[in-house]
Amino acid sequence: MEILFQTSRATAIETGLVAAIGFVREQDALASTRELHASGRELFEALNTATRGWIEDVFLRGEFTGKACETALLHRPAGMAAKALLLVGGGRRANWNTAELRKAAGVVLRTAKSKGFRDVCLLTEGEEVNAAMVSAIAEGALLGDFEPDAHKTDPKKNEKVVDRFYIQVPPRHTLDNALVRGTVLGEAQNLARTLINEPANLLTPQKLAQAASDMAARNGLECEILDRARMQQLGMGALLGVAQGSLEPPAMAVIKYSPAVSPLSSSAHLALIGKGVTFDTGGISIKPSEGMEKMKYDMAGAAAVIGAMQAIARLKPSIAVTGYAPMVENMASDRAQRPGDIVTSMNGKTVEVLNTDAEGRLILIDAITYAIRNGATHLVDAATLTGSIAVALASVHAGLFTNDAEFQKRFQTAAAAEGERFWPMPMDEEYKEMLKSAFADLPNISGGRYGGSITAAKFLEEFVEGKPWIHLDIAGTAWLDDAKPFLSKGPTGIAVRSMVRLAEDWL
Ligand code: BES
Ligand code: ZN
Ligand code: ZN
């Protein structure tokens, strides 16, 4: 799909579908459609006239109320060049924010696609379109376009595609870079989603590592893949203990971005670390069979890092960023580690593996130590780490854990600007006290059932050596069980754009 600008007036645009989102607010009664916010008024009047009052009609009848993501479709509008007009509801807010625009663009794209329109134009007439809005629209269209059906063989599935997505802008504009940025972010998230969606038989740790180095080669980044022998040399006993149960060898991708001119003001070196368990059976502490197929998405953190590094390579922020993606398959076998095994991590601390299903933290700690040894000054990790985070926050917010309030503020600002939600979780010392082993420095799980996502974070914190660090538990948010009007079922690509924004806005 191409994303292009369109500068004609709404009624003259000749695409299959044109979509109006600007003025369509949720209204209590038709009376208030007459009190449209000023910028939407003009477009409303133009389209209502061109459709001989259809817009007023659908509001009056209550067929359409303007709720967020609600749609109404009119075929062959009399006074328009387009074949159809789509209204997309904008909810109650008076002005569009980028989060809503991203979703609305996704709704437009998915509606156009499902109805067989090959080209569509999103109208912005009367609005003051700025760069952030254009980025969000382009990105939303790309996100909406993703389908998790790569392995379906029905040739008909390719019949319904949108070839061209137009964004209406004023004739004289300076929005080209904004369109590029939105495209870069959308493609980065879709790359992550494509990887997450792959089943574990097709996407082994080796294949995921190959995908990371292919991405790096395509985008001019350096990429090193650590293999088992190298990990043994480095003493990554925690990661290797998880990997030993699988015939598939582990890998760690290290993807490097250095800014062309190193910033004088800051010597910061950001590490992005992602959990890459290509399949999590639980190991000997095996998971129940129900829903286990979903554990192919246990590498969503690694995929997010690979996607983010692609966007970073293209957007060229002025901070050094290295991506680390430890990759293993967590299997049960005669070679698998056992509950009670004691492993030595790269930083020398010993860990008693009380539960082989708490494997994510074991591979992350060796990646964290390796990142610090490589000069990381700030760490962000993203991991589908615990089921508990979904118990606490459902799929609305991901969990955020940190040891540094200032770094948290910086990250939250980036996340808010990108419309991603991370809820700060407590990190009191009492949670650390729940991690007690009689036989090693630390156990990999706490005694009780409660606060599981927090004790997991406290476990990781033991390895960050006091560096500013943020842990994102994305177990509840990386996979969408039911499609939304703007997003397919399946992988969401969460954390990609917040990590990219963090790097972009560093200075
Ligand atoms: N990969 C899982 C966490 C997970 C659960 C991700 C559900 C996505 C959806 C992780 O490795 C795990 O198994 N965690 C255990 C930890 C427990 C053994 C302390 C969990 O959450 O149950
Ligand atoms: Zn597990
Ligand atoms: Zn896991």
Q: Find the CATH number of the domain harbouring 443.
A: 3.40.630.10
Query: Is the Cβ atom of 122 under 6 angstroms away from ligand 1?
Result: no
Q: Within this chain, do residues 256 and 391 fall inside the same structural domain, yes or no?
A: yes
Q: Within this chain, do residues 122 and 99 fall inside the same structural domain, yes or no?
A: yes
From first to last of its 507 residues, the chain has per-residue pLDDT tens of 999 999 999 999 999 999 998 666 665 444 455 555 455 778 888 999 999 999 999 988 989 988 889 999 999 999 999 999 999 988 876 677 899 999 999 999 999 999 999 999 999 988 889 999 999 999 999 999 999 999 999 988 888 999 999 999 999 999 999 999 999 999 999 999 999 999 999 999 999 999 999 999 999 999 999 999 999 999 999 999 999 999 999 999 999 999 997 666 679 999 999 999 999 999 999 999 999 999 999 999 999 999 999 999 999 999 999 999 999 999 999 999 999 999 999 999 999 999 999 999 999 999 999 999 999 999 999 999 999 999 999 999 999 999 999 999 999 999 999 999 999 999 999 999 999 999 999 999 999 889 999 999 999 999 999 999 999 999 999 999 999 999 999 999 999 999 999 999 998
For the CA of 298, the nearest atom of ligand 1: 1
Position 39 in a domain: yes
Position 368 in a domain: yes
Contact 344, 439 (CB under 8 A): no
Residue with the nearest Cα to atom 8 of ligand 1? 475
Query: Is the Cβ atom of 386 under 6 angstroms away from ligand 1?
Result: yes
DSSP E strands, 112-170: 119-123, 164-168
Task: Pinpoint the alpha helices (H) of 316-462.
Answer: 360-373, 388-393, 405-417, 429-433, 452-461
Q: Within this chain, do residues 19 and 88 fall inside the same structural domain, yes or no?
A: yes
pLDDT, residue 127, reads: 85
Last residue of a domain, one of 143, 169, 195: 169
Query: Is the Cβ atom of 360 under 6 angstroms away from ligand 1?
Result: yes
**Interatomic CA distance for residues 346 and 349, integer angstroms:** 8
Last residue of a domain, one of 169, 202, 230: 169
Position 228 in a domain: yes
Q: Within this chain, do residues 142 and 267 fall inside the same structural domain, yes or no?
A: no
pLDDT, residue 110, reads: 98
Place of tokens 């806005």: 505
DSSP E strands, 186-340: 222-226, 251-257, 269-274, 276-280, 320-330
Position 178 in a domain: no
Catalytic (active site) residue 181: no
Residue with the nearest Cα to atom 14 of ligand 1? 386
Centroid of ligand 2 to alpha carbon of 331 (angstroms) = 10
Indicate the residue type of 187: E
pLDDT, residue 29, reads: 40
Q: What is the DSSP string of 185-203?
A: HHHHHHHHHHHHHS-TTTS
Last residue of a domain, one of 116, 137, 169: 169
Position 343 in a domain: yes
Expressed as residue numbers, the domain containing 16 is: 2-169
**Interatomic CA distance for residues 107 and 165, integer angstroms:** 12
Q: Within this chain, do residues 92 and 125 fall inside the same structural domain, yes or no?
A: yes
* Domains identified in the chain, total number: 2
How are beta strands 17-20 and 119-123 bridged, if at all? Answer: parallel
Indicate the residue type of 367: A
Centroid of ligand 1 to alpha carbon of 280 (angstroms) = 9
Contact 352, 340 (CB under 8 A): yes
Centroid of ligand 1 to alpha carbon of 269 (angstroms) = 30
Q: Within this chain, do residues 164 and 192 fall inside the same structural domain, yes or no?
A: no
3-class DSSP state of 256:
strand
Query: Is the Cβ atom of 475 under 6 angstroms away from ligand 1?
Result: yes
Position 175 in a domain: no
Residue with the nearest Cα to atom 22 of ligand 1? 387
Query: Is the Cβ atom of 362 under 6 angstroms away from ligand 1?
Result: no
Tokens of 498: 């917040």
**Interatomic CA distance for residues 495 and 491, integer angstroms:** 12
Q: What is the DSSP string of 409-425?
A: HHHHHHHHHTT--EEE-
Centroid of ligand 3 to alpha carbon of 386 (angstroms) = 7
Q: Within this chain, do residues 159 and 213 fall inside the same structural domain, yes or no?
A: no
Q: Within this chain, do residues 197 and 64 fall inside the same structural domain, yes or no?
A: no
Q: Within this chain, do residues 307 and 246 fall inside the same structural domain, yes or no?
A: yes
The CATH number of the domain where 145 resides is what? 3.40.220.10
pLDDT, residue 158, reads: 82
Instruction: Indicate yes or no: pTM above 0.95.
Output: yes
Of 41, 228, 287, 467, catalytic: 287
pLDDT, residue 35, reads: 53
Query: Is the Cβ atom of 452 under 6 angstroms away from ligand 1?
Result: yes
- ∠442-392-423 over CA atoms, to 5°? 90
Task: Pinpoint the alpha helices (H) of 51-88.
Answer: 54-61
Q: Within this chain, do residues 257 and 292 fall inside the same structural domain, yes or no?
A: yes
Residue with the nearest Cα to atom 13 of ligand 1? 357
Ligand 3 is an ion; residues with CB less than 5 A from it: 277, 280, 298, 360
From first CA to last CA, the distance across the chain in angstroms is 34
Q: Within this chain, do residues 152 and 196 fall inside the same structural domain, yes or no?
A: no
Contacts of 84 (CB under 8 A, 6+ apart): 16, 17, 18, 73, 74, 75, 76, 77, 115, 117
Which residue among 331, 357, 362 is best mutated to probe the pocket of ligand 1, counting the most ligand atoms within 8 A of its Cβ?
357
Position 399 in a domain: yes
Q: What is the dihedral of CA 453, 424, 483, 115, to 10 degrees?
A: -160
pLDDT, residue 44, reads: 87
3-class DSSP state of 4:
strand
Position 174 in a domain: no
pLDDT, residue 471, reads: 99
In the beta sheet, which residues pair with residue 269? 320
Catalytic (active site) residue 287: yes
Nearest alpha-carbon partner for 22 in 89, 81, 112: 89
Q: Within this chain, do residues 27 and 66 fall inside the same structural domain, yes or no?
A: yes
Centroid of ligand 1 to alpha carbon of 444 (angstroms) = 12
Centroid of ligand 3 to alpha carbon of 47 (angstroms) = 52
Q: Is the dihedral of CA 469, 474, 476, 482 positive or negative?
A: positive
